[in-house]
Structure 1
Amino acid sequence: MRPRPGAPKVPDGLSALSWLVADAGTGEVLAAHDAHRRLPPASTLKTLFALALLPALPPGARHTVTEKELADVGAGSSLVGVKEDRTYRVADLWRGVFLSSGNDAVHVLAALGGGRRAAAARMQETARALGAHDTHVVSPDGYDAPGQVSSAYDLAVFGRAGLRNPEFARYCATVRASFPADGWSYGIQNTNRLLTGDGVDRYPGLIGIKNGYTSRAGNTLVAAARRDRRTLVVTVMNPRRGGSLAVYEEARSLLDWGFRAAGRVDPVGSVLPPRSRPPTGPGSLPGAGAGAGAGTGADPEAGPAGVTVVKGGETGPGWSAAAAIAGAAVVGAGAVALVLRLLRLKGGHSGRG
């Protein structure tokens, strides 16, 4: 942090191994601690999974799950309850990812995207395009795997980029939803406690994004909140004190500080894309990254450049062919072929739930 006279002090008592506070609109990093330290991300890596796969998978498409797609879900994974031989809309599966952190839903969506290896490769490509160079993807669901790492910086980049995608922003802000079963549905609730108020006080103005936990990663969180026309993104990785709820309380402290400090500290870096970020001075964070096409002062809720956004896809028939292909083109030529296959599937399956 580079404070100006009268700027508030960074909160005392922060125990996270790594953290960062950024302004989502300007991309300015207001303060950070060891932000490029490479650490296991747990389910916060699902933010990158969504960035990479959302443009390629029309939300209204329906898919019947196979046994093979669920065969390699890791032991002890968080699950939403996806079952083989049931038909789900893609939008249902995304809610399972964002709310229940369901690794079963991730595996099915990854299969629709060409398989886990293809999904991991697409995630890696997306991270590099965003200027996020600390991340190495092995398991798309964030399940602990040798060599799988990210950083507070990269996760803030993914969170900011996600807010620029209306589908991502809507899913990550959803508190409760219904998940389909055989002829009925059951309720699911977001696992982000700052959003739900489960065990901690809800944070005023919180708009998502994603929490995570594994035994190697500890508790991790990317959170965003809006106040007085300003949106902040905070990353907290593996607090060392305070138990399982400390990640939320440390994020709360950093958000409170960020809203007080914005405009009263000089930025120490930027989470804008490399081509958009301003020159940085001595003491600034190295690296860059954010949503493709983002610029200084960009609206964090605007869609990524080149993506055709079709509203109402969750409750209506889904993307049109033109919109789906336009979105897939951002990810790559292989995704265009995938979308064409999914569009054919839409007419061939009858959904349950």
Structure 2
Amino acid sequence: MRPSASLAALLLAAATAVVPAAPAFAQTAPARAKAETAAEIPCPKPNVAKPKGIPARPVPPADVPANSVVGGDALATHGLIIPAGAKQPPAVTATTWIVADLDTGEVLGACGPHVYQTPASVQKTLLAATVMDKLDPNQTITAVRSDLDIEVNSSAVGIVVGGKYKISTLWLGLLLNSGNDAANALARMAAGGGANGVATTVAAMNAEAQRLGAFQTHAVTPSGLDGKGQFTSAYDLALIARKDFANADFRTYVLTKATQMPAQPQVKQKGFQIQNENKLIFNYPGAMGGKTGFTTVARHSYVGAAQRNGRRLVVTLLGAEAHPQRGWQQGASLLDWGFAQPKGQSVGKLITPEEVAARTETGSADAQPESATAANKAAPGIHAGNGPGATKVMAAGAVALVLAGTPLLLLLTQRRRRRPLTRG
């Protein structure tokens, strides 16, 4: 199967372009001084001991001040940021998190929203955001040996070499059962099915992250299995989730409670049932679905969304432990907190691709997009650091380097590493 013309154009752009690793975002001098000197408010944590024997976390890239204020100056913190007067959010083990409105883009609250973290399987949401609308869900593909090239003991939906599967079945295997084998098959087919398909799609994922404004996200694998230099942030995941939940097929897949993997008589494999690992859809009124993730390095990660009283909120969290609450339960607690906040209160904004593109085109370091101006009016009193104060929200975009009139994008290629991981 050949990719569509639009996907071919995307992949060609990804394969021939170079993107700056640290996009040039503007930051006002007062904002920079505030970010550097303000005392950070610790995020609420439960009083539980950390598990023993956890591998050392990967060393993240150095913080880029311009990236730390994407969406608003107040988001440049490793600590807690909530609207002035808001109730304290629940204590969770997640290292970083964010709660945002899918429709308005308002960030209701966050803990270290721009802190680099490793994603685990929530990275599959970036794969979906990049290629879901480029693949025909009714197309049948044949699994090949390289689709099963995944870490030992990592999650797999159980496709077999020579097996024939619809694209829609692979998406269900990816999003319900976190199949790393399904991730490889989808990535390969999105780039035309060739030997370099997975690497090409990973490059397209990184280009899509840049387009969305997820500048702290760097994919190395399509599945989220750990790889050197692979990072994301809670803020970036919210941007990615916002695109995903705008896709009707994605919403259908992540709300599916169970499905049947088809029998493969040609290789003597019987059919079997898989169930959705995201318990939010079984236990939370108004749940819209999401994605779970875990590796021994990344720990637990989670993306979830729900709707209530005309509002649709998304929560993303990274670096969590499963005790005393599992990832989806921590997400549910933060969603409850978010729904309890009055409409219009925010500490920042989820930037839009249009705002990113506008910055890229103009190269402006001073102009604010209209949504940032609106956010300033909507959130006159928020607190970051040690007290309340007014915050100017900057929905900034990247300033592209230009050579002979052509934007330079960084081609980020896939690198595989073998590690004994328990999930993905």
Compared CA separation, residues 100 and 240, structure 1 to 2 (3 A): closer
**Residue 217 (structure 2) aligns with:** 135
Aligned residues with identical type, % of pairs: 37
Compared CA separation, residues 250 and 117, structure 1 to 2 (3 A): same
Compared CA separation, residues 187 and 75, structure 1 to 2 (3 A): same
Partner Cα distance (1:38, 1:284) in 2: 23
1:259 maps to 2:345: no
**Paired residues of 1:30 and 1:265 also in contact (CA < 8 A):** yes
Compared CA separation, residues 60 and 229, structure 1 to 2 (3 A): same
Q: CA deviation at 1:229?
A: 1.3
Compared CA separation, residues 285 and 171, structure 1 to 2 (3 A): farther
**Residue 379 (structure 2) aligns with:** none
Compared CA separation, residues 76 and 286, structure 1 to 2 (3 A): farther
Partner Cα distance (1:241, 1:181) in 2: 34
Compared CA separation, residues 80 and 180, structure 1 to 2 (3 A): same
SS in 1 for 2:95: strand
SS in 2 for 1:40: coil
Compared CA separation, residues 84 and 2, structure 1 to 2 (3 A): closer
Q: Which runs of 5+ in 1 are unaligned?
A: 197-201, 290-353
**Paired residues of 2:292 and 2:303 also in contact (CA < 8 A):** yes
CA-to-aligned-CA distance 1:289-331 (integer Å, 9 cap, x gap): 9xxxxxxxxxxxxxxxxxxxxxxxxxxxxxxxxxxxxxxxxxx
**Residue 246 (structure 1) aligns with:** 326
1:52 maps to 2:130: yes
Partner Cα distance (2:222, 2:285) in 1: 31
Q: How many residue pairs get matched? A: 280
CA-to-aligned-CA distance 1:219-268 (integer Å, 9 cap, x gap): 0001000011110000111225725x432232112100111104263333
1:147 maps to 2:229: yes
**Paired residues of 1:31 and 1:267 also in contact (CA < 8 A):** yes
**Residue 75 (structure 1) aligns with:** 152
- Please give the residue correspondences for 1:182-331 in structure 2 after superposition, counting only pairs within 5 Å: 182-183=264-265, 184-196=270-282, 202-240=283-321, 242=323, 245-263=325-343, 265-273=345-353, 275=355, 277-279=371-373, 281=376, 283=391
**Paired residues of 1:269 and 1:284 also in contact (CA < 8 A):** no
Q: CA deviation at 1:121?
A: 0.6
Compared CA separation, residues 97 and 241, structure 1 to 2 (3 A): closer
Normalised TM-score (structure 2): 0.62
Q: CA deviation at 1:172?
A: 1.3
**Paired residues of 2:155 and 2:178 also in contact (CA < 8 A):** yes
Partner Cα distance (1:81, 1:284) in 2: 49
Partner Cα distance (2:131, 2:299) in 1: 26
Normalised TM-score (structure 1): 0.74
**Residue 99 (structure 2) aligns with:** 21
Partner Cα distance (1:175, 1:271) in 2: 32
Letter in 2 for 1:261: Q
**Residue 175 (structure 1) aligns with:** 257
SS in 2 for 1:145: coil
Compared CA separation, residues 260 and 61, structure 1 to 2 (3 A): same
